[in-house]
């Protein structure tokens, strides 16, 4: 990892600083090219630490550096070092992604609250209609035609024809209109599709009413599917490819 390599350089930089007996950094003029390169590396190391690992304990940081430099007893086995660093920075990245998603969701809820409410109202009214069934997840569906073939699993690859609309009838995607069925993995699509397809047998045609949390949630999907959109699909399962 580039970041881990940067921290290795940082160790060297901090070591040179800590070796100064007065605990400070001498102010030296930059007289040679090596002086300038040395100073630039110090700047780069500081920026990397401040940006990526500002919370590190510098005394323990230097303890690790000096233990290895002096061939002293180290507290972490050499073969575990990369794992410790990788796990830590992966967690930091995951936390950053989670925070980013939370911020994006908050912004979307402020801007598209009406769209979310309209979808919830639509589903509440729709579930009481004749022929509409509701799963534990909230997926609603009705059987237009029941087939007699096998049911796919989450790991199956299927061939389908579909026609997708918003709750107001706006078409956003349709293999039927294109005149060509499509293939994909059952587990590679939105959760509403993944669940719904496993209810069907080959030859069936169902209509899915997919709540936003089983579709694209707070994410915009193309020009027509706004955040928190409830989606409606007519789906015909033509074949289990594999």
Q: Which of 216, 218, 225, 228 is catalytic?
A: 216
**Residue 175 and residue 177: Cα distance in Å, rounded?**
5
Contact of 171 with 162, CB cutoff 8 Å: no
Contact of 158 with 145, CB cutoff 8 Å: no
Whether 162 is catalytic is yes
Q: Which of 49, 61, 65, 173 is catalytic?
A: 173
**Residue 208 and residue 196: Cα distance in Å, rounded?**
7
C-alpha Rg value of the chain to the nearest Å: 29
Task: Match 């496993």 to its residue by tokens.
Answer: 198
**Residue 137 and residue 161: Cα distance in Å, rounded?**
24
Residue 55 CA: distances (Å) to CA of 51, 203, 240: 10, 59, 53
CA atoms 48, 51, 53, 56: torsion sign: positive
Q: Which of 61, 122, 162, 228 is catalytic?
A: 162
**Residue 202 and residue 146: Cα distance in Å, rounded?**
9
Listed in sequence order, the residues at least 6 apart from 14 whose beta carbon sits closer than 8 Å to its beta carbon are 45, 58, 61, 62, 65
**Residue 232 and residue 204: Cα distance in Å, rounded?**
17
Whether 141 is catalytic is no
Q: Which of 89, 172, 184, 213 is catalytic?
A: 172
Whether 173 is catalytic is yes
Q: Which of 41, 44, 190, 213 is catalytic?
A: 190
Whether 233 is catalytic is yes
Active site residues: 162, 172-173, 190, 216, 233
């Amino acid at each position: 990892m580039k970041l881990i390599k940067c921290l290795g350089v940082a160790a060297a930089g901090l070591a040179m600083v800590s070796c100064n007996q007065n605990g400070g950094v001498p102010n030296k003029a930059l007289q040679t090219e090596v002086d300038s390169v040395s100073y630039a590396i110090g700047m780069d190391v500081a920026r990397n630490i401040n940006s990526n690992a500002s919370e590190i304990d510098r005394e323990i940081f230097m303890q690790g550096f000096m233990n290895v430099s002096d061939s002293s007893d180290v507290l972490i086995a050499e073969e575990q070092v990369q794992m410790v660093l990788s796990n830590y920075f992966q967690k930091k990245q995951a936390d950053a992604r989670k925070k980013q998603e939370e911020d994006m969701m908050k912004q979307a809820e402020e801007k598209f609250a009406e769209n979310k409410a309209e979808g919830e109202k639509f589903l509440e009214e729709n579930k009481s209609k004749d022929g509409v069934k509701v799963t534990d997840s909230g997926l609603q569906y009705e059987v237009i035609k029941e087939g007699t073939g096998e049911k796919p699993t989450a790991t199956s690859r299927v061939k389908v024809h579909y026609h997708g609309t918003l709750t107001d009838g706006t078409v956003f995607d349709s293999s039927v209109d294109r005149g060509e069925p499509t293939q994909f993995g059952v587990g590679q699509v939105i959760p509403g599709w993944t669940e719904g397809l496993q209810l069907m047998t080959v030859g069936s045609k169902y209509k899915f009413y997919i709540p936003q949390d089983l579709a694209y949630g707070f994410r915009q999907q193309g020009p027509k599917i706004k955040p928190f959109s409830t989606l409606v699909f007519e789906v015909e399962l033509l074949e289990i490819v594999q």
